[in-house]
Amino acid sequence: MSTQLDFTIGGLLDHIAATYPDNDALVYPELGLRYSYRQFNEVCRQVAKGF
């Protein structure tokens, strides 16, 4: 049995970034990186434009 989802990965990230913009999305202490969902969404959009 297959279930179709009504959203894309990008759409899901947009929704999470709008709902929890200041929550941590990515934390990589060894490199000193910390992105909120708002920041992570913006970086993902910039990378996608490069494709």
As a whole number, mean pLDDT of residues 10-35 equals 97
As a whole number, the mean pLDDT across the chain is: 94
Q: What is the rounded (10 degree) CA torsion for 33, 37, 39, 42?
A: 130
Residue 3 has pLDDT above 80, yes or no: no
The residue among 5, 45, 40, 1 whose CA lies nearest residue 21 is 40
Under 8 Å between Cβ of 11 and 44: no
The pTM score is 0.81
Residue 48 has pLDDT above 80, yes or no: yes
- At 7 the pLDDT is 87
What does residue 20 show for φ and ψ, rounded to 5 degrees? -130, 60
